[in-house]
Amino acid sequence: IFNNVALLPPDALFNIKQRMSQDSRKMKVDLGIGAYRDDSGKPWVLPSVREAEKLIQEDPDYNHEYLNITGLTSLTDPAAMVLLGQDSLALKEGRTVSVQSLSGTGALHMAASFYSTTCKDKLVYLSDPTWANHKSIFEGKGLKTATYPYWNAASKSLDLEGYLNAIKTAPQGSIFVLHACAHNPTGLDPNEEQWATILKAIVEKEHMVLFDSAYQGFASGNLNKDAFAVRLGLELLADVTPVIICQSFAKNVGMYGERAGCFHLVLPHQDEFVKMADVKAAIQSQLALITRSELSTPPAYGAKIVAQVLNKPELTKQWHADMVTMSSRIIKMRHLLRDALVSLKTPGNWDHIVDQTGMFSYTGLSAEMVQRLEKEHAVYMASSGRASIAGLNSGNVEHVAKAINEVVNY
């Protein structure tokens, strides 16, 4: 019966990791997978996380019991606050439903499941390009996807005109998946003025928005700055359509493998005859069913750690400093790489490397150049030319710049 099962190609990014592990060259550089590394190229456990783990394990009530189906409220409540902000009207007015998810991917999957049972006919618009998993997640739940223009390859900047045109021509009430900050793979975010234009155009067409928030605080080191688009979107859509926000703690708390995240749904103001509490209870029951049938209960350990970090003021303070440590190291690497390319007189303009934000840079290198980088110089990155800047450090950035210079000149 399974003899004809199709063999799928390996996941492109995890495949890079595997090729690299088989490479015996001494100087090899991993710019593939998006995970933070310190300046010696090692994974970094945040000091706030180390402290939180200690507190959890010293707790006399420490155990490995199941969580509730909808997760730890000591995680989901402060997580909503981190995202929406202390002054959030949606929180004050009780318009939010928050449940724990299996990191950001699980939150997206939950969104896809929820849309597929509540509004299956809506088109889901993804940026072109976007994180590869988006398409599989939404289509995997039977939803139809379309794309909106995003990256102008010639100018290495935002194709705002194409973006707005897609918003205008999409069927009224479609779903737009927006990267809250640190767009993956391009590293290019709209500026504040562009965000306002985009979100107002979305309001005009009464589209529904899903914010994918995988890098809040990781991009700029400032949680509020990185939540600009989410908060403006909630303000502008407050009387229009529901907003879903998929929140990952993989990057900003360094919880990659622990799968800590939340799904938030923010309802618009309701007509007088609709009881907000009833709608919220119904939505929560649907979300609980999704978790119950797929995970039974969400994972506890990472959630407990993040809950400590968000609830203990001294740990929260340390976490804020940890995000600055990560984001400023990445920003420094962007500058070192750009400056090295400029001083090597590498043909082209490399300012986009410093203008982009977050984990990634869409370098503009072609697939052939990327192939040569790997073959000749043991520098590994995605064939799209996306480089994870977190893989750069003071010991390898010069090597990478020389390698890029060589393949561009070749």
Instruction: Report how far apart, in Å, the C-alpha atoms of 376 and of each of 23, 29, 105, 372 are.
Output: 12, 12, 35, 6
Determine, following the binding rule CB under 6 A, whether residue 386 of this chain makes contact with ligand PMP.
no
Number of residues that bind ligand PMP (CB under 6 A): 12
The amino acid at residue 169 is T
Given a contact cutoff of 8 angstroms between Cβ atoms, the answer to whether 27 and 35 are in contact is: no
Contact mark string toward ligand PMP, 76..105, x via CB under 6 A:
---------------------------xxx
Longest dimension (CA), the chain: 69
Among 214, 373, 382, 390, binds ligand PMP (CB under 6 A): 214
Tell me 10's DSSP state: P
Q: Mask of contacts with ligand PMP, 181-210, x by CB under 6 A?
A: ---x--------------------------
Q: Is 251 a catalytic residue?
A: yes
Among 69, 234, 250, 295, binds ligand PMP (CB under 6 A): 250
Binders of ligand PMP in range 258-277 (CB under 6 A):
261
**Residue 248 binding ligand PMP, by CB under 6 A:** yes
96 within 8 A of 79, measured Cβ to Cβ: no
Half-sphere exposure at residue 36, Cβ-oriented, CA atoms within 13 angstroms? 27
Question: What minimum distance in Å lies between the beta carbon of 34 and ligand PMP?
Answer: 5
- Evaluate the omega torsion of the peptide bond into residue 185 and state whether it is cis, within 30 degrees of 0: yes
Indicate the DSSP class of residue 310: H
Binding mask 125-144 for ligand PMP (x = CB under 6 A): ------x-------------
CB of 370 to ligand PMP, least distance (A): 19
3-state secondary structure of 320: helix
CB-CB contact of 251 with 34 (8 Å)? yes
Q: How far is the CB of 153 from ligand PMP (least distance, A)?
A: 20
C-beta of 133 vs 297, nearer to ligand PMP? 133
Is 212 annotated as catalytic? yes
Considering the candidates 141, 156, 251, 304, report the single residue annotated as catalytic: 251
Closest CB 172 distance from ligand PMP, rounded Å:
26
3-state class (DSSP) for residue 328: helix
- Within 8 A by CB and 6+ apart from 221, the residues are 323, 324, 326, 327, 328
Q: Is 264 in contact with 247 (CB distance < 8 Å)?
A: yes
Helix (H, G, I), strand (E, B) or coil at 131: coil
Residue closer to ligand PMP, measured from CB, 34 or 298: 34
Binding residues for ligand PMP (CB under 6 A): 34, 103-105, 131, 179, 184, 212, 214, 248, 250, 261
Enumerate the active-site residues: 131, 212, 251
